[in-house]
Amino acid sequence: MTIPTTAGPPVVVIGAGPVGLAAAAHLLERGLEPLVLEAGEQVGAAVRQWHHVRLFSPWRYDVDAAAARLLEPTGWQHPEPAGLPTGGDLVEQYLEPLAATGALAPRIRTGARVVAVSRVGMDKTRTPGRDERPFLVRAQHTDEQGRTRVVDHRARAVIDASGTWEQRNPLGVSGLPALGEAEAAPFLAGPLPDVLGAERDRFAGRRVLVVGAGHSATNTLLNLVQLAEQGPTGGPTTRIAWAVRGASVQRTYGGGDRDGLPARGALGSRLRRAVESGHVELRTEVTVHALEPSADGTEVTVVAKTPAGEQRLTVDVIAAATGFRPELGMLRELRLDLDPGVEAPSRLAPLIDPELHSCGTVPPHGADVLAHPETGFFTAGTKSYGRAPTFLLATGYEQVRSVAAHLAGDAEAAADVRLDLPETGVCSATGPARGFATGSAGGRAAAEPAPTTTTCC
């Protein structure tokens, strides 16, 4: 399909995170008009929520090439390629300057939450002439005074790079919330709490349970260990328990010195030492069945199922690092081809299956793999991975480069997908993953930022 590059509605990009802004940069290079709709009040809204987390991908993998070409005329200097940015660094040194460029600034709308995507004048059951109809992207716009209005945007194509950060997996097994999980919400911290910063008082001297077996859990556990070591003399000790569903955490420990991303390998090695030294109490083969807040609201008891029978653990706070899932409700009127398990595009799912692959073993892929039966609609970035973790920013940048080429009618460039990724040590999975699955977020050291959902990166 060739989409004209002059008159007509824009290509709507959902999400102004790293991949969404990269998509807009590539579209502009191709002569296509982007309109970026971001639900948050600022660009990089999700990344800002894990600003304190250091990515395990160095800067050389974190900056998109087309974005860099937009930035260079402004005097922007590429950060040290070998440096490891935090989420805050990524926003301040890259995303904010990129969004402020003369090319992108007038094409970004913040406070614009997309609530539905359809075709103008037809629902998903209508076929004749479907590909010729523009998309209808309905968004709820909120101004600085908090007033909202619903706006219908027309689009010649849509790239959904909205991520998965707001759609966190529940604590319960079977993909459902544990009994009492809603009532226990005051005791639940997010997947990447700022343990050593803004949320320090919530964790210091407390009994903390971390649930999950991905990089998000690893990062939180290590920060908790550091917090415990910094505790005041004579004050209460921060006690740390770690629960995973599998019988082994070897995959969480990862490749150590053999990992091509040294910062990621170091995380696993440090966590192993923390468990072996007794700083972290590891509980394996645990599934959370119920949460029971105390009558006075000061603590919560976790009721868990194990091979040995029911166990109960009373804590003050729970860090739920159980991963992420895509929000698909807003896409209900589109014709999607999603893998029934991973909820990624069907042609992508076998390439990212977390039981077979890690971030570094996923082959390059582009528009042909990301496409759906709904011509002109693509998911990209962490949302394209569905429920699979360990997404890398570099992967997302290549995705949107290919999609932009496809939308501009350059089939050869769209098909020529390439990736420069580091080796990943034993992070390259050769068998089923064990423990709670976690999401990826773009390459964060905490959550890759499964990442990760962290992110990834």
CA 236-238-242 angle, to 5 degrees, is 150
Predicted local distance difference test score (pLDDT) of residue 457: 56
**Tens of pLDDT, residues 93-129:** 999 999 999 999 999 999 999 999 999 999 999 999 9
* Phi, psi values for residue 364, rounded to 5°: -60, 145
> What pLDDT does 362 receive?
80
- What pLDDT is recorded for position 330? 97
pLDDT over threshold 70, residue 12: yes
Decide if pLDDT at 436 tops 50: no
The predicted structure's pLDDT at residue 422: 61
Q: How far is CA 362 from each of CA 108, 139, 188, 386, rounded to the nearest angstrom?
A: 31, 33, 33, 14
Q: Which residue has the higher pLDDT, 446 or 247?
A: 247
Return the pLDDT at 448. 31
Mean pLDDT, all residues of the chain: 87
Give helix 215-229 / helix 262-276 axis angle, nearest 10°: 60
Question: In sequence order, which residues have a C-beta less than 8 Å from that of residue 118 and are 6 or more positions away?
Answer: 124, 135, 136, 138, 333, 334
Query: Percentage of residues in the chain with pLDDT exceeding 90?
Result: 74
User: Is residue 294 pLDDT above 60, yes or no?
Assistant: yes
- In DSSP notation, 150-168 reads EEEEEESEEEE---STT-B
DSSP three-state, residue 405 = helix
pLDDT in tens, 345-354: 999 999 988 7
163 pLDDT more than 50: yes
433 pLDDT band, cuts 50/70/90, is very low
How many residues in total does the chain contain? 457
**Given CA atoms 120, 122, 125, 126 in this order, what sign does their dihedral have?**
negative
Task: Kindly state the percentage of the chain with pLDDT values over 70.
Answer: 86
* Burial 156-173, CB ≥16 within 10 A → b, else e: bbbbbbbbbbebbbbbbe
Cα–Cα–Cα angle for 79, 83, 85, rounded to 5 degrees: 80
pLDDT at 261: 52
For residue 306, list its beta bridge partners.
309
Amino acid type, 449: P
Query: pTM of the full predicted structure?
Result: 0.88
Residue 452 has pLDDT above 60, yes or no: no
Widest CA span in the chain: 75
Arithmetic mean of pLDDT, 171-188: 95
Question: Is the pLDDT at 445 greater than 50, yes or no?
Answer: no
The residue written with tokens 């599934």 in the block is 287
pLDDT for 253: 81
Rg of the chain's alpha carbons, rounded to an integer?
Answer: 22
pLDDT of residue 56: 79
Instruction: Return the pLDDT at 302.
Output: 97
Q: Helices in 325-457 by DSSP H: which ranges?
A: 349-352, 367-370, 393-407, 411-415
Q: Is 372 left (phi over 0), alpha (psi -120 to 50) or beta?
A: beta
pLDDT at position 5 is 45
**Per-residue pLDDT, 427:** 32
Alpha carbon 419 to chain centroid, angstroms: 19
The neighbouring-strand residues paired with 108 are 36
| Per-residue pLDDT at 85 | 96
Q: How far is CA 229 from CA 82, 204, 211, 226, 235, in A?
A: 30, 10, 21, 5, 12
Rounded mean pLDDT, 252-265: 58
**DSSP, res 53:** P
Instruction: Yes or no: say if 74 and 80 are a contact pair by the CB < 8 Å rule.
Output: no
DSSP 55: B
What is the average per-residue pLDDT within 12-29? 98
Within 13 Å and on the Cβ side, how many CA atoms surround 435?
A: 27
Distance of CA 88 to CAs 4, 43, 44, 49, 326, Å? Answer: 38, 12, 10, 9, 24
Give the up-direction half-sphere exposure of residue 224: CA atoms within 13 A in the CB hemisphere. 33
Give the separation between CA 174 and CA 235, rounded to whole angstroms.
Answer: 40
Q: Identify the pLDDT of residue 266.
A: 73
- What is the rounded distance in angstroms from the CA atom of residue 314 to the CA atom of residue 4? 61
**Distant-in-sequence, close-in-space partners of 71: CB < 8 Å, separation ≥ 6:** 97, 98, 101
Which domains are seen in the chain, by residue range?
Answer: 11-166+324-427 (3.50.50.60), 173-320 (3.50.50.60)
The residue type of 86 is T
Strands of 112-119's sheet, edge to edge?
112-119, 135-142, 148-155
Element containing residue 289 per DSSP (H, E): strand 287-293
